[in-house]
Amino acid sequence: MQDQKWIQQIRAGDQASFRQFYDAYAGAAIRTASAITRNREVAKDAVQETFIRVFRQIESYNPELPFDPWFYRILTNECLRLMKKEVAKLELVDIGDNPSLAEESFDQLSDLYDVIQSLDDIHRIPIILKYVKGFSEKEIAEILGLNQNTVKSRLFKGRKKLLEQLQPGEEEEEFQ
């Protein structure tokens, strides 16, 4: 596996291997972080911090376990940490003065993406990890530090909310 080879070489201090690893993971990491944070600039910062943490903490990775859940747990934690900082900043800024801030990054997105982004974090992040990144429920539980049944419940409720928003009125018609 290429991941294991890179990890061994990175542990040995090989900067060229770290660059190859970065090049292989950066695009997917940016897309995932953008979906989690809903902000491309915050996502870039989260990805940068993630790679720094991976480099500094590579010794703590257990090579007997899959690498992706370990990497995406760090990425998810960085996204959540930076989102908390952004919320604090937004409380100080009146967004009403610049409505283009919210519209700017979403102009070209599909209805599904918009609906996913409208979900609250506890449902949106597991949905992204499951259906965009392809992680198993067990891996998502590891990434988010949750019980696997909690992940299943959040995925179920998230899918239900998506369905309600994508097919408005159909459920109401069924009950009339």
Residue 48, in any domain of the structure: yes
Q: H helices within the chain, ranges in order?
A: 2-11, 15-37, 40-57, 67-92, 100-104, 111-118, 121-127, 137-144, 148-166, 170-175
Range of the domain at 128: 106-166
**pTM of the predicted model as reported, rounded to 2 decimal places:** 0.65
Q: What CATH number should be reported for the domain holding residue 147? A: 1.10.10.10
Domain boundary among 38, 59, 94: 94
Encode pLDDT of 62-102 as tens digits. 989 999 999 999 999 999 888 877 665 544 334 344 444 34
Encode pLDDT of 18-67 as tens digits. 999 999 999 999 999 999 998 888 899 999 999 999 999 999 999 899 99
Q: Is there a single domain that holds both residue 118 and residue 74?
A: no
Q: What CATH number should be reported for the domain holding residue 72? A: 1.10.1740.10
Residue 159, in any domain of the structure: yes
Residue 36, in any domain of the structure: yes
Q: Is there a single domain that holds both residue 7 and residue 59?
A: yes
